[in-house]
Structure 1
Amino acid sequence: MENCIFIFDTSAILNLYYLTKNNRNEILNKSLIHFKEQFCLPYHIYYEYNKNRGNTIRKLISEKYDPLLISGFDFSNINK
């Protein structure tokens, strides 16, 4: 693996948003840091990531919190 170059698809990078913070950090710490010199991020993937990042975050928020709103969850009792 010393001579390999790793290129991730945009969806693979965006899917990191769906992981828990601990899982995301574990993946990044075990892979990106160890192989950081072997990762390549072509401009088109960078472009697609930036183009789709907002929609991915909105979709994630919608999937997690819209069911709470629909169910009538009372957010006023949550401590700030």
Structure 2
Amino acid sequence: MFENLLEMQERGARDRARGRSLADNPMSKPDILPITDFQEWYSMFDAWRFGWSIEDAMSGHTNAPRDGGTSSRSYTRTV
């Protein structure tokens, strides 16, 4: 299970690097991946999101919402 969580974190980081959003979490599509064990599902969901968030932070994306929702605000940085 631990290796699966690490793989899911890496997948989340790759997905963020490819420009995917938090809504693209593959674990959020129960029709594709039926949920049989809630704790295991949530662990995988959270691992992907964690990997996505790490890549987002490392890439310096400043317009990503921290709560996982979508934001209609546009942020501009002034110097």
Could you say whether these structures have the same fold, taking a TM-score greater than 0.5 normalized by the shorter chain as the test?
no
Shorter-chain TM-score range: 0.3 to 0.5
Asked which structure has the greater CA Rg, the reply is 1
Q: TM-score, with normalisation over the residues of structure 2?
A: 0.34
Higher percent of residues as helix: 1
